[in-house]
A = this chain, B = another copy of it.
Amino acid sequence: MTDRVYNFAAGPAVLPIPVLEEAQRDLLSLPGVGISVLEMSHRSPAIEDMMRAAEADIRTLAGIPDNYRILFLQGGASLQFSMVPMNLLGPGQSAGHIVTGHFARMALQEARSVGNINLAGSTEDDGFNRIPGQSELELDPDAAYLHFTTNNTIFGTEWQEEPDSGDVPLVADASSNIFSKPIDINRYGLVYAGAQKNLGAAGVTLVIIRDDLLERSPDTLPAMLNYQTHAKGNSAYNTPPVFAVYILGLVVKWLIAQGGLEAAQRRNREKAGLLYDAIDSSEYFRGHALPGHRSAMNVTFRLPDEDAEQRFVDEAAAQGLAELKGHRSVGGIRASIYNAFPVEGVEVLASFMKEFERTNG
């Protein structure tokens, strides 16, 4: 254990140590089964039970009622960028997309290669340093859905509450803040999230879809791109990514054991607060996101110049604070502190920031 570093990576990202320890303990042979999870048939009772338990635990953790289906898919959020319009956009219909960052822009671009998509709002002109206000949105009451990105990993901004889409179903890419705080699922028609930030390892995508939206999928879609296929097959129409679902299930159990989503929100606010305090009490560090729009998951900031930023990243890494370099598209520093990131690591980073400013500022 002592050789582990603090991993500030934006995703894939840090996992809870108890999850890793359980996976390690059982890696050669699941107790009572005599086969590794990596080797187990998705049709075996043990794996069917495991997948049902993961689904039930997600319903418990996030309060997901029976009129929503929970699917474990492959291809990441990137494949959802295409699957959402393929499944939800009827002939002649259009949908709205709000663009608040890099992945929101990718989602718009991919959706436009499928159908008619309107830009319902964007903060690109402000360098994506904020979330648009409700009054800035251009909403079409006849839209098939309204798509937004709940947290912007690269820019470090986060919706503090959902946009009001009226009767238009809300569709969210929640990859970078899912289950980091309570969610009122009834406000959503569909939520999707790659697992590798807050939910587990790369290789599985969680999709939560309301029953009425599930009925929109056209029969002409390829089976693997049709939500109905996966709903009818209980996410085992074809071989699911068994091990990635298993890890996701362990993470969800861990979140429940840690007190659920309200407790997660308290911990995440405390962690983010330590870093934003370090930024706000300094003349040396400049936060990218505007206060009131800041992400509790990804804290982004700049130093006076790129040389100082590179030194900061290098010296931090030498002290066991890894993966702090900002995304190549914006530069600077990014500290990703998802659910599983320990508060101790954040405290070490905050101290490191003060010391770095003292010697370099």
Asked if A38 CB lies within 8 Å of chain B CBs, one says yes
Of B9, B39, B241, the residue contacting A39 (CB under 8 A) is B9
Contact between B9 and A203, CB atoms less than 8 A apart: no
Chain A window 232-253, contacts with chain B (Cβ cutoff 8 Å), 1 for yes, 0 for no = 0000011111111001000000
Chain A interface: which size bin?
A: 35 or more
Q: Is A359's beta carbon under 8 Å from chain B?
A: no
A82 engages B225 (CB within 8 Å): yes
Report B-chain residues with C-beta under 8 Å of the C-beta of A152: none
State how many copies of this chain the complex holds.
Answer: 2
Return chain B residues, CB-CB under 8 Å to A12: 38-42, 239, 242
Q: 1/0 contact trace for A27-49 toward B, CB 8 Å?
A: 11101011110111110100000
Complex contact B29–A4 (CB within 8 A): yes
Q: Is the CB of B28 within 8 A of A222?
A: no
- The residue from B7, B27, B220 contacting A23, defined by CB atoms under 8 A apart: B27
Bound-complex Cα distance A82 to B223 (A): 8
Decide: A7 and B74 in contact? CB cutoff 8 A.
no
A201/B79 contact (C-beta < 8 A), A24-B28, A243-B244 known: no
Bound form: Cα–Cα A15–B39 in Å: 6
Q: Bound state CA distance, A17 and B28, in angstroms? A: 8
Which residues of B sit under 8 angstroms from A222, Cβ to Cβ? 79, 81-82, 110, 113-114
Mostly, the A contact residues are loop
Task: Say whether A322 faces chain B, with CB atoms less than 8 Å apart.
Answer: yes
CA distance in complex: A14, B36 (Å): 8
Residues of B within 8 A of A113 (CB): 220-223
How close is A360's CB to chain B, nearest CB, in angstroms? 25
Q: A195-208: contact bitstring with B at CB < 8 Å (1 yes, 0 no)?
A: 01000111110000
Q: Which residues of B contact A331 (CB under 8 A)?
A: none
Smallest CB gap from A220: residue in B: B113
Point out the residues of chain B lying under 8 angstroms from A28, CB to CB.
1, 4, 17, 20-21, 24
Contacts A40-B9, A320-B34 given; indicate if A224 touches B82 (C-beta within 8 A). Answer: yes
- A158 part of interface (Cβ distance < 8 Å): no
| Smallest beta-carbon distance A248→chain B, Å | 11
Q: List 7 A-B contacts (CB under 8 A).
A: A5-B34, A9-B44, A20-B36, A76-B238, A81-B224, A113-B223, A241-B244
* Residues of A in contact with B (beta carbons under 8 Å apart): 1, 3-5, 7, 9-15, 17, 20-21, 23-24, 27-29, 31, 33-36, 38-42, 44, 74-79, 81-82, 110, 113-114, 194, 196, 200-204, 220-225, 237-244, 247, 320, 322-323
